[in-house]
Amino acid sequence: MNFVDVEPTLENYWRAIILFGKNTASYKFALAKSLIDVSLDRNSDLISLEDLALPYAMHLCEHIKHSPKQNNRGSNGNGKFINACLAFNNNKMTEDELVNITNKEGFKYVLNAFHVVNTKAVQERFYDVIDEDFFIDERRFNKGIRLTDNLFKLFYVFDNSADNLNQETESRWNLVEKAWELNLSRNLIAVEFDQETKQLFTQDNKHRRVGITSSRGALNGYQKSRCFYCFKEISIAIQHELLAEVDHFFPHLLKPEVASAGCCRPVNVDGVWNLVLACSDCNRGTNGKFAQVPDIKLLERLHTRNEYLIGSHHPLRETLMMQTGKTDAERKQFLQKSFNFSRERLIHEWLPEQQGISVF
């Protein structure tokens, strides 16, 4: 995996943690969202675990309301912390009691594991753990973390980072917990895109449509807030003027052609493998792609993007492999067939001028 090495900015390190860090429980996501919260309220770089406990627990409590399963263990795998969140949601525990248990039980592993990607810690850290007791006020001591300048630069100095990375974290969390809920990530092989809602969805065992998460949030981390086609800066913040548009790499216009191709169809245009985020100029501007076929150079880029997803600990890994092939060679062959299928029908190729630096 070379995601971090391509463009080692602070955003890259954060995304590597969220996208490629190991997922055995959802504590990492709750901690990430809590760190965003405290970075936007910069009173001190020294945060006690007691002060961090409430926002951290609240993020888990909110997710538990719609997704009770917050780890990849069996039904008896909940620890004291998750059980406390469940009790709080059921009005069987006070906020003070929740904070007390979170402070004792909720941070046991996540603080040291947060910065680990592929068994090693990333070079740029967003906080340091203070193991010794440190002075909080005149009355008490407590353990905690010291926020680094990296965290404040990422979420306080850089425009839109908080909105984008917060939504990406939320989408990643939704994907992971949906995989846990369905028991096996392999059950997500039917993940597709809803053109109207811009959501990713799958089907449960009763063939009912199940919404998973925002497609923008799920895809943006792998494009590093850049248009897939021209590398112009994009955003996933809903009201932002540079709001990304979800685009079908091979045009959605091909969907009727795909249906008529029957069992031999090479293109499932609504599959996750065929979705990218684009700027409005590339998607529908004067010289935009519209119903043209992306240049072969862009096909290589799509393969690279999909390999990022497959190379991560991501529920969409199984989706992509089932849609495009088990091996790298099979996936390349699939894309080539899809390109041929599209080129024979839509004729025209398209390649925009590059508007920003190459980041993937």
Contact criterion met (CB below 8 Å) for 302 and 331: no
Distance CA 130, CA 180 (A): 33
**pLDDT for 128 beyond 70:** yes
Pairing of strands 293-294, 275-278: unpaired
pLDDT bin (cut points 50, 70, 90) of residue 93 is very high
The C-alpha atoms of residue 295 and residue 286 are separated, in whole angstroms, by: 18
75: left (phi over 0), alpha (psi -120 to 50) or beta: alpha
Q: How confident is the model at residue 322 (pLDDT cuts 50, 70, 90)?
A: confident
The 3 state secondary structure assigned to 133-200 is EEECCCCCEEEEEEECHHHHHHHHHCCCHHHHHHHHHHHHHHHHHHHHHCCCHHHHHHCEEECCCCEE
pTM (2 decimals)? 0.64
Per-residue confidence (pLDDT) for residue 352, from 0 to 100: 96
Match 């004067």 to its residue by tokens: 286
Mean pLDDT over residues 169-188, rounded? 68
Q: Are 259 and 300 in contact (CB under 8 A)?
A: no
pLDDT for position 263: 41
Q: What pLDDT is recorded for position 42?
A: 65
Least confident of 71-75, 340-344, 353-357: 71-75
Once rounded to an integer, what is the mean pLDDT over residues 95-120?
Answer: 88
Helical (H) or strand (E) element with 62: helix 49-66
Q: Which of 127-141, 205-219, 319-333 has the lowest mean pLDDT?
A: 127-141
Q: Which of 23-27, 145-149, 305-309 has the lowest mean pLDDT?
A: 23-27
Q: Which distant-in-sequence residues (6+ apart) come within 8 Å of 154 by Cβ? A: 10, 11, 14, 39, 126, 161, 165
Residue 140 banded pLDDT, cuts 50, 70, 90 = very low
What SS3 state is found at 240? coil
Burial class (CB in 10 A: 0-12, 13-18, 19+), 287: exposed
- Flag whether pLDDT at 264 surpasses 60: no
Give the lowest-confidence range in 6-15, 42-51, 203-212: 203-212
pLDDT of residue 180: 73
pLDDT in tens, 327-340: 999 999 999 988 88
What does the DSSP assignment read for 13-36?
HHHHHHHHS--SBTHHHHHHHHHH
> Which among 84, 121, 356, 119 is positioned nearest to 226, based on CA atoms?
356
20 has a pLDDT exceeding 80: no
Q: Bigger pLDDT: 264 or 336?
A: 336
Residue 349 has pLDDT above 70, yes or no: yes
Is residue 46 classed as helix, strand or coil in its secondary structure?
A: strand
Provide mean pLDDT across the span 97-125: 87
> What is the pLDDT of the chain when averaged over all its residues?
80
Residues 6+ apart with CB under 8 A from 252: 195, 269, 270
Of 154-163, 192-201, 290-299, which has the strongest mean pLDDT?
290-299
Burial of 292: CB neighbours in 10 Å, binned 0-12, 13-18, 19+: middle
Over range 216-223, report the average pLDDT: 81
In terms of Cα–Cα distance, which of 5, 106, 25, 36 is closest to 313? 25
In the structure encoding, which two tokens stand for residue 338, read together? 């899809």
Percent of the chain with pLDDT over 70: 76
Task: 323-330: list long-range contacts, CB under 8 Å, 24+ apart.
Answer: 323/189, 323/268, 323/271, 323/272, 323/273, 324/271, 324/273
Of 338, 316, 351, which Cα lies nearest the Cα of 231?
351
Q: What is the mean pLDDT of residues 50-65?
A: 93
Residue 266 clears pLDDT 80, i.e. is over it = no
Structure-model confidence comparison of residues 68 and 231, the more confident one:
231
The stretch 207-216 carries a mean pLDDT of 62
Cβ-based burial of 2 (10 A; exposed 0-12, middle 13-18, buried ≥19): exposed
Q: Where are the alpha helices (DSSP H) in 210-254?
A: 215-223
Q: Pick the closest to residue 257 from 249, 269, 248, 246 (CA basis).
A: 269
Distance CA 65, CA 357 (A): 42
**pLDDT over 60 (residue 133):** no
**pLDDT at site 6:** 39
